[in-house]
A and B are shown apart, each in its own frame.
Chain A
Amino acid sequence: MEMMTVKIKRFDGRNSYYQKYEVPYEKGKTILWLLTTIREEQDPTLNFTSACRHAICGSCAVQINGNAFLACNTPLDDVLDTYKTMNLTFEPLKNFEVIKDLVIVWEPKMEKMTKVKPWIIPGEEGSKEIGFLQSEEDFQQIAAPTDCILCGVCASECNQLAVNQDGYLEPFILNKAYRYIVDTRDGAPEQHLKPVLENDLWKCLHCMQCVSQCPKTIPLTDQIAFLRSATMAMGELDNQGAKHAYAFHDDVKNKGRLNETMLPIKTDGLVQTALTKIPFALRMVKKGKINPLHMPKQISGIQEVRKLYEYAEEVKS
C-alpha cells in the first residue's frame, strides 16, 4: 500500500510544532477527506474547520506546501501531481490569527471590513416595500463578486498583506467594496471607495497570487485596477499611486518607453526622492544597474504606440 507522509502544523494556544501522520493513499479523494481521515482514524485532537464540503461555506481553507487551497474541492491527486510528492505539509492560512492547529479567527477581519461599509447604502429609487429595479446587465456586474465565500485564500496568498497587515485591505475586502461600488442600487459608492483609497489601494504588488488561487475564480486583480481608475475618475490624482500610473502613462505616450530615472521623481516629488531614494540610486549606479545620464530617446514607430492610446480612449468611452 502506498503511503503519504502528512506533516501538520499544530498549535495549542501556546506552543506550535509539526506532527507527522502516515496515511494510506487512496485514489479520487479530496484534501478534506485526508484531514477528516486523520482526525477520525488517528488523532481526534487535530482541529480544522469544515461544514458544507461542497465549496459554498468557505470554512475549510488551509495551506498545503505553502499555498492556500479550499480543502473540500481540491482533489488530493491534483495536489500530489502538482508538487510531485507524497509528502504534504499543512499549515493554517497566512495573514490570519491562529486559534488552534489549522483553525483561524475571522472577527478581526470582519472588523477591518467594516471600514469599507460592507453593506448596501440604498439609493433613493428603492424602498423596503417595493425593492429596486435593476437591469439584467447591471446584475451581471455584481454576479462574480457575490460568488465570494469569505474563505480567506486570497488573504493568505497576498504578498502585500504579508508586510502590511495594518495598512492594506484583504483582497476579499476590496472585492466587497467593489461589489457595492458597482451595484446600481447603491446610493453612495464613494462611501465604499474612499476608505479603499485611504487604505493603500495602490500598494497591490500585481503578483496575481490571489486571483490564481481563488476557488471561485473571482477576477480580484481586475477589480483592483477598476478601483484605481474609479478613484482617479473621482479626482483623486494627487497621490503616489496615481502619479506613478501617470508617469508610466505619459512616458510611454511621449517616448514609447519608460524613463526609469525620472520615475521616482514623478511619483514622489524631488524632495521626497532626494530624501529616501538617493543612497539606493547611488548603489544602483555603482553596480551598473542604472545610468543616470541616459535619457531615453523616442522610439521609432511612436505613432503606432500613440494609436494604441487613442484606441484605449475610444474603448473606454
Chain B
Amino acid sequence: MLKFDVVVVGAGGAGMMAALSASEKNNLKVAVLSKIFPTRSHTGAAQGGINAAMGYRDSTDSPEKHFRDTVKGSDFLADQDAVEFFTSGMPDMISELDYYGVPFSRDEKGQVAQRPFGGASSPRTCYSADKTGHVILHALYEQCLKNHVQFLNEWFLLSLVVEDGKFEGLVAMDIRDGKIHPIQAKSVVIASGGFGRIYWSRTTNAINMTGDGTAACFEAGIPLKDPEFIQFHPTGLAQTGVLLSEACRGEGGYLINKDGERFMARYAPEKMELGPRDLVSRSIETEIKEGRGFGEGMTSYVLMDLRHLGEKKIMERLPQVRELALEFEGVDLIKEPVPIRPSCHYTMGGIHVSDYKTCSTPIEGIHAAGECCSVSIHGANRLGGNSVADVVFFGKYAGLGAKESAMRRSFGRTEKLEQEANAWKTKFKTIREKTTGVSMFSIRNRLAETMWNYVGIFRTESEMAQALATVDELIEEYKDAYAGDASVKYNMAFINYVEIGNILKLARAVAMGALNRRESRGSHSRGDYPTRNDEQFLKHTLIYKDGENYRLEYAPVTITNYQPEERKY
C-alpha cells in the first residue's frame, strides 16, 4: 500500500506552498496529488495581484489598515484573530516569493510595485503586470522541482478515510491507468480550490473547479462553513463566463437591454454603469428576469456597448479587452456590442478550518488551505487581491501544521482504507458497465440553471425552497446517472461523473445555508430580507452531512478589534 507522512491534495498556490513547507528541513515523505498537471491550476488565473501592506507606495499603510479593510470588506463575518494573523504576516510572504523568483513589477526604487484595488484604503496590491497568479504558480512549481517534491499528477481524490474522528488515509485514482489506490498517510492538506462550477457555464472558474476536496471533507464529517457566500462578477462573457475586465465600465461602456435602453438609469441614475459590482450584477439579472434581455435561459444576456468610445480609444485603452471579446465571443467591440452576463467568481465558504494557525479541521490529521476552505478571513465577501494572498499564506501554515501532525501521529490501521478502496473499485466497474440512464451532463446543466436562477445573485425564500427541492430531485436522478465510457485507462467520463456528484452535494449545502440566513450580508443578497441583521446572524453557518441528511448549526464569529458598523464606501 502507498504510504506517505503527508499528502497534499491539489497543486495550486496553496498546495505547492504546503508541500514546500511540509518537506522543508526534515525527512518526511510528502506527496502532492493533483487531478491536473500542477501549472494548470486555477491560481494561475488570478490577474490583479496579491495584497500585503509593504508600505512601499504609501508609507502610511500598515498591516493594521489591511486588517481593518479586510474585516469591513467581509461585512464583519471574518474571524478577526485570523485576519490579523494573515495581514501581519503578508509582507514577509512577499519577500519570500521574491526570493523564490516571482517576477514582480517594480517601482522606481526597485521595490515590489503596488497598485490600488477595490475596498483597500491604501494602494497595497503587489502585482506582476496582469498575470500575478500565473507567475506565482510557476515560481512555486520551480521551487518544487528544485526541492524534489513528489507529484502524483492526474491522480483524483475519491474519498478521505476517517476512523474514530481521526484521519487514516485516502483513496485516489491514478487517472492514467485507472487504478484505484488506498493511500496511508499521517496527515493531509486539502488544497483543491473552490466550487464555482455549481453554476457550470456561469462562472469565471476553470472547468475543473468542482470542489472535490471540499466534498470529500464534507463526506468525512467536517462541516462546511458559510457555503452560502458566493462572489459574482457583473461582466462575464455570455457564452463562456470568461471575465471581461472591469475596465470596460471604467472607460465608459454602456450596458444596453433588448429595447436599446441604458437600463442602469433605473437602478443607479447617477453612477449609471459605474455602480458597485453587486448592484450592477443584480440590475443585469433583473433586466433578464423581466424579459428585457436577449436570448433564453442560461444563454440570456445583455450588451456591453463600447462603440461610442471610437476605435482609437478602444485600441489605446482596452486592447486586451478587445482581443478577449474577439477570441472568446467572436465579437469585435469596435464594430458591435459584446454579449455579457454576471458570472460566479469565488466561493468564500468551504471546509471548516477550526484553528487558523495550523489550518487544522475538527478531524485530527486533516488540514485545509485556499479557496476550498473557510478560515474565515473573507467572511461574507472577499476583497480583490486577498485570494492569492490567502493561498500562499495559509498554504504555508497548513503545510507546517500538517508537518507537526505527521510528526506527532503514527500510521493507523489499513482495514477501512482497503474497504473504501474496494467500494470505489466496485463503483468504477458499475459506472463503466452502465449503458443507459440519465445523462450526467443534463443533470449538471439543470443543477447550474436551478442554482443560477434561484440561489444566484439575488435570493428569496420561495425560490430557494424550490431550488432545494429541485437539487434533491437531481440527487435522486444522479443515482441513475450514465457516464458513457467503458474504458479503464484515462476515463475522464468517470471523473466527470464523480465531480458532478461533488457539486450536487455542495450545491445543496449552498442552498440550505442561503435559505436559512434570513438577512443580506456581503455577497448574500436577499430580496425578502434586504438588510444585515447582526442580532440574529452575526454568526457562521456550519452544515454537517450525516449520511443523506444535512444538519445546520451556527458558530460564533471572533471579534477582537472592530465592532460591526454599517459597511459604506
Chain A residues, CB < 8 A from B97: 131
CA of A101 to CA of B134, assembled, Å: 28
A127 and B131 in contact (CB under 8 A), knowing A99-B490, A100-B490?
A: no
Per-position binary interface string of chain A over residues 127-147, scored 1 when its CB falls under 8 Å from any chain B CB and 0 otherwise: 111111111101100110011
Chain A residues, CB < 8 A from B243: 54
Residue from A40, A73, A120 in contact with B142 in the complex, judged by beta carbons closer than 8 Å: A120
Asked if B274 lies at the interface with its beta carbon under 8 angstroms from chain A, I say no
CB distance from B149 to the nearest CB of A (A): 12
Asked if A118 contacts B145 (CB within 8 A), the reply is yes
Per-position binary interface string of chain A over residues 292-316, scored 1 when its CB falls under 8 Å from any chain B CB and 0 otherwise: 0000000000000000000000000
Asked if A120 contacts B100 (CB within 8 A), the reply is yes
* Residue of B whose beta carbon sits closest to that of A179: B103
Which of A's residues lie within 8 Å of B, judged by CB? 12-13, 27-30, 33, 40, 44-45, 47, 49-59, 72-75, 77, 99-101, 103, 106-107, 110, 113-114, 117-120, 122, 126-136, 138-139, 142-143, 146-150, 180, 183, 185-186
Chain B residues, CB < 8 A from A120: 99-101, 139, 142
Asked if B108 lies at the interface with its beta carbon under 8 angstroms from chain A, I say yes
CA of A54 to CA of B139, assembled, Å: 20
Chain B residues, CB < 8 A from A143: 103, 129
CB distance from A82 to the nearest CB of B (A): 15
A56 and B134 in contact (CB under 8 A), knowing A44-B493, A118-B145, A139-B105?
A: yes
Residue from A54, A126, A146 in contact with B138 in the complex, judged by beta carbons closer than 8 Å: A146
Per-position binary interface string of chain B over residues 490-508, scored 1 when its CB falls under 8 Å from any chain A CB and 0 otherwise: 1011001000000000000
Chain A residues, CB < 8 A from B239: 29, 33
Chain B residues, CB < 8 A from A119: 101, 142-143, 145-146
* Residue of A whose beta carbon sits closest to that of B176: A99
Apart from A117-B146, A131-B98, 12 more pairs, CB < 8 Å: A40-B441, A53-B240, A54-B243, A54-B328, A57-B206, A59-B40, A75-B327, A99-B176, A99-B490, A101-B490, A135-B106, A136-B107
Asked if B96 lies at the interface with its beta carbon under 8 angstroms from chain A, I say yes
Asked if A28 contacts B99 (CB within 8 A), the reply is no
Chain B residues, CB < 8 A from A117: 146
Asked if B326 lies at the interface with its beta carbon under 8 angstroms from chain A, I say yes
Residue from B94, B143, B153 in contact with A107 in the complex, judged by beta carbons closer than 8 Å: B153
Asked if B376 lies at the interface with its beta carbon under 8 angstroms from chain A, I say no
CB distance from B11 to the nearest CB of A (A): 12
Asked if A52 contacts B328 (CB within 8 A), the reply is no
Per-position binary interface string of chain B over residues 329-343, scored 1 when its CB falls under 8 Å from any chain A CB and 0 otherwise: 111000000000000
A53 and B330 in contact (CB under 8 A), knowing A120-B101, A139-B106?
A: no
A44 and B44 in contact (CB under 8 A), knowing A56-B134, A133-B110?
A: no
CA of A119 to CA of B98, assembled, Å: 12
Asked if B99 contacts A132 (CB within 8 A), the reply is yes
Asked if A134 contacts B110 (CB within 8 A), the reply is yes
Report, nearest first, the 10 A-B pairs whose CB atoms are least far apart: A28-B330, A131-B98, A120-B101, A44-B484, A131-B95, A133-B110, A119-B142, A100-B490, A119-B146, A51-B206
CA of A100 to CA of B492, assembled, Å: 11
Asked if B106 contacts A52 (CB within 8 A), the reply is no
10 contacts between A and B (CB under 8 A): A30-B327, A44-B483, A44-B493, A45-B484, A50-B207, A106-B37, A107-B153, A122-B101, A129-B95, A150-B39
CB distance from B340 to the nearest CB of A (A): 14
The interface centre, meaning the residue of B134, B143, B328 with most chain A CB atoms within 10 A of its CB, is: B328
Asked if A131 contacts B94 (CB within 8 A), the reply is yes
Asked if A51 contacts B104 (CB within 8 A), the reply is no
CA of A143 to CA of B127, assembled, Å: 12
Please classify the interface of chain A as helix (H, G, I), strand (E, B), loop, or mixed, using the class held by over half of its residues: loop
Residue from B41, B99, B145, B324 in contact with A128 in the complex, judged by beta carbons closer than 8 Å: B99
CA of A103 to CA of B492, assembled, Å: 11
CA of A202 to CA of B14, assembled, Å: 40
Chain B residues, CB < 8 A from A146: 103, 128, 131, 135, 138
CB distance from A246 to the nearest CB of B (A): 35
Residue from A58, A107, A136 in contact with B106 in the complex, judged by beta carbons closer than 8 Å: A136
CA of A115 to CA of B327, assembled, Å: 36
A139 and B104 in contact (CB under 8 A), knowing A12-B487, A59-B40?
A: yes
Residue from B92, B105, B106, B206 in contact with A53 in the complex, judged by beta carbons closer than 8 Å: B206
A77 and B330 in contact (CB under 8 A), knowing A49-B36, A58-B40, A130-B95?
A: yes
CB distance from A287 to the nearest CB of B (A): 49
Asked if B489 lies at the interface with its beta carbon under 8 angstroms from chain A, I say yes
The interface centre, meaning the residue of B97, B324, B486, B489 with most chain A CB atoms within 10 A of its CB, is: B489
Residue from A13, A47, A59, A183 in contact with B37 in the complex, judged by beta carbons closer than 8 Å: A59
Asked if A30 contacts B328 (CB within 8 A), the reply is yes
* Residue of B whose beta carbon sits closest to that of A137: B106
Residue from B142, B151, B492 in contact with A47 in the complex, judged by beta carbons closer than 8 Å: B492
Chain A residues, CB < 8 A from B330: 27-29, 75, 77
CB distance from A46 to the nearest CB of B (A): 9
Asked if B489 contacts A56 (CB within 8 A), the reply is no
Asked if B242 lies at the interface with its beta carbon under 8 angstroms from chain A, I say yes
Asked if A57 contacts B44 (CB within 8 A), the reply is yes
Asked if A51 contacts B42 (CB within 8 A), the reply is yes
Chain B residues, CB < 8 A from A128: 95-96, 99
CB distance from A59 to the nearest CB of B (A): 5
* Residue of A whose beta carbon sits closest to that of B108: A136
Chain A residues, CB < 8 A from B95: 127-131
CB distance from B109 to the nearest CB of A (A): 7
